[in-house]
Structure 1
Amino acid sequence: MNNNDVMSDILLRLPLKDLVGCKCVCKWWNTLISDPIFKLNYSLRNPQYNISGFFLQKFLYLELHSKLLFFPCEGRVDAAPKPSLSFIEDDKGVCIQHSCNGLLICSSFRCGEEDRKYYICKPTTKQYFPLPNLECRTVFGISIAYDPNRSPHYKIVSICDSYLSKNHRQIKIYSPVTGSWKPSGKPFTVPEEDMLFNRGVFWNGSLHWIGMGNLALRFDPETELMLTMPMPPTQRKPGYFGESGGHLLLVEAYGPLTAGFDIMEMKADYSGWFVKYHLNLDQVARQCQAIERANRLSILHIVHNHVEGVDESFIVIHVPGEFVSFKLRDYSFMDLQTNNHVDSGLGLWYSWEGVYPYTNTFFYL
C-alpha cells in the first residue's frame, strides 16, 4: 500500500463537508479527491448522501426569495437538501433557473436583466460560484449540460437576444475550464410561437426545448450543433416535458388533464414519439377523493424506474390543496415524503414549469 492508498483510505472516512474543505489543503489531496475512482468509492461507502427528488418553486408577491419545497423520490430523506437558497448572498433575492444532475443554476430574483446575476450552485454542500456577466439585453433561457458519467466538467448554455432582429437568438456557452462566455455559431431565427427556452431538458448529451406549436429543438454543447426534432402532429399545449432514468418524456394537453392523458417517450434515434403509458384517471379517482372532486390538475414529476425487472415508475400530480403520487403500472398510491411543511391552505397552484429535478451527485465547485 503506497502513500496515495493510505491517504485515500483516510479521506474516504470524512464527512462530505469536511472532505470538500480538504481539497483546498494541498494539490495532492485535491488530486486524490478529484479522481473518478475515489468519487465512486466515496459514494458506495457513504449511501447516506444518496438522494434524488425535485424542488418545487413558486413566486410569492413581495417575497424576496422564491418559495421552495423539496420532495425526495429515492434515497435517504435525511440527506435531502434544505429547501432554501439563502446561502447565496444576493440582496435582490435568489430563484432557481435550471437543474441538472446535482447542480443548480440560480439567479437574482427581483431585478431587471441589466442587474441580474447568475450562479452555479450545489445546495447539499451550500457551494456557489457567480458567473461572469452575460453581455446581452435579454436572456430567454439558461441551462446546465452536465453528465458525470461522460465528463467531470459541466457547461452552461444561454439563449440570448440578437442584434439582427427580435426573432433572432444567439447561443452563448460558459465553460469552467475557460471561465468565460463565448458565442456559439451564428444567430438563428425562431417563429412567432413561444419557445420554452426557460425549460431546457438535458438528455442523451443534448439540451432540448419545446414550444407552444410544432417546433422543438435540440442542441449538443460538444459539437455546438442546433437541430430540430419531431413533435406529435396535432395542435396542443405542453402538459409536461422532462427526463427521468435516461428517458425523454412528454405529455400533451388536448383538453382538461382530468379526463386522462398519454405519457409519450422519444425514441433514442429521434425518429419520433411513442405512447409509453395511457392514464385513465377515472380508475385513479375511485381511490382518491382529491382527484375525484378536482376540476383541474397538473403534472409535477414523472420518475421512470425499474427494480429487478419490475416497472416501478410513478407520477406526482397536484390537485387543489393536495399532492398525490401513484405508480403508473397499477395506479397504487404512494406516500410523498418530505422534510418541508406543506401548507395546503395557501391556495398555491404548482405546475411542471416550477419543478427542478435534483440528484445528489458527488461533485464540488
Structure 2
Amino acid sequence: LPLLCGYNFVGDKVESLYIIPFDHRAAGQIQHQLQPVARLEQASDFHLLEACCDGLLVLSFRNTSTSDWRFSVCNPATRQYALLPLAYGSNVQDSLLGMYPHIPTGDYRLLTYRMHDGRLPEAATQDGCYIFTLGFGQPPTHIGFLDAELLTYIIGFLLFRGSLHWHPLGGMIMVFDTTTELFW
C-alpha cells in the first residue's frame, strides 16, 4: 500500500512523525479511518521516512554521538529494525535513490549513490551508483553511472512496472530497470 507521512506540530516544532498506509479500497468507507502503523517521536534520533516497499520502511536518523546520518530498515508488522551499513559521514555519503524487490532473486534492494568529498582523489573513482541487498551481509555492489548524481537532489521516486522512475526538474525522466539493474 502507498504510505503517507504526517507530522504532528506543536507550534513551529515537529513533535512526531506518523507513518500511515493508504488503502484506496477503503477510502470511501466511513468506518475505515486512516490509522498510523508507526509513530516516531522527535525526541528519538529518527528523522525521515526515506523509502518503503511492500511494508518495509527505510528511515534515516542522526547519530548524536558522531553527528552523522545513518539508515535503518524497519518492519512495522514485526516491530523489528536493523541498522544498514551505508556510509554517511564526513568524507563519504550514500544517498538513497530507491528501494525495490529484485524479482529474479526475491531480495529487496536499495539503489544508492555514493559520493566522496574530494579530499582523496583516488576515492572519487568509487563514486557512482551502488546496489545494496537487504539481509545479504555483503557490501554494496558498485554499478557506476556517474550521471545519476543529479538524482540525489530529487525527493522521491516511483516504482512502476518493475522500474524505478525519477523526473528531474526541467529534464527527461530517468528509469532504472530493477530486473537487469541498468539505467535506460
Structure 1: runs of 5+ lacking an equivalent = 1-51, 228-365
State how many pairs are aligned. Answer: 169
1:54 and 2:3 matched: yes
1:143, distance to aligned residue in structure 2 (A): 2.1
Contact 1:95 1:106 in 2 (8 A): yes
- Tell me what 1:137 maps to: 92
1:109, distance to aligned residue in structure 2 (A): 4.8
Q: 1:118 to 1:187 in 2, by over 3 A?
A: same
Q: 1:116 to 1:215 in 2, by over 3 A?
A: same
TM-score normalised per structure 1: 0.38
Deviation readout 1:85-125 (Å, 9 max, x if unpaired):
46xxx952342111122211111058699622211112233
Deviation readout 1:203-243 (Å, 9 max, x if unpaired):
2222111101123211224423112xxxxxxxxxxxxxxxx
1:73 and 2:5 matched: no
SS in 2 for 1:134: coil
Distance in 1 of aligned mates of 2:17 and 2:64: 17
Distance in 2 of aligned mates of 1:109 and 1:77: 35
1:59, distance to aligned residue in structure 2 (A): 8.1
CA root-mean-square deviation: 3.9
1:171 and 2:129 matched: yes
Distance in 2 of aligned mates of 1:155 and 1:73: 26
Distance in 1 of aligned mates of 2:147 and 2:65: 25
Distance in 2 of aligned mates of 1:112 and 1:212: 36
Distance in 1 of aligned mates of 2:177 and 2:98: 12
1:169, distance to aligned residue in structure 2 (A): 5.6
Structure 2: runs of 5+ lacking an equivalent = none
Distance in 1 of aligned mates of 2:151 and 2:19: 28
Deviation readout 1:56-89 (Å, 9 max, x if unpaired):
24485554x6532524423594895534146xxx
Higher-Rg member (1/2):
1
AA partner of residue 166 (structure 2):
W
1:197-346 equivalent positions in 2, closer than 5 A: 197-227=154-184
SS in 2 for 1:138: strand
Contact 1:104 1:120 in 2 (8 A): yes
Aligned to 1:180, which of 127, 133, 138?
138
TM-score normalised per structure 2: 0.67
Deviation readout 1:269-317 (Å, 9 max, x if unpaired):
xxxxxxxxxxxxxxxxxxxxxxxxxxxxxxxxxxxxxxxxxxxxxxxxx
1:159 and 2:108 matched: no
Deviation readout 1:12-57 (Å, 9 max, x if unpaired):
xxxxxxxxxxxxxxxxxxxxxxxxxxxxxxxxxxxxxxxx453224
- Tell me what 1:10 maps to: none
Higher helix share: 1
1:81-100 equivalent positions in 2, closer than 5 A: 81-85=36-40, 91-100=44-53
Contact 1:93 1:110 in 2 (8 A): no
Deviation readout 1:309-349 (Å, 9 max, x if unpaired):
xxxxxxxxxxxxxxxxxxxxxxxxxxxxxxxxxxxxxxxxx
Contact 1:173 1:182 in 2 (8 A): yes
Q: 1:161 to 1:123 in 2, by over 3 A?
A: same
- Tell me what 2:81 maps to: 128
Higher relative contact order (CA 8 A, sep 6+): 1
Identity percentage of aligned residues: 18
1:24-43 equivalent positions in 2, closer than 5 A: none
Q: 1:77 to 1:184 in 2, by over 3 A?
A: farther
- Tell me what 2:55 maps to: 102
Higher strand share: 2
Contact 1:113 1:139 in 2 (8 A): no
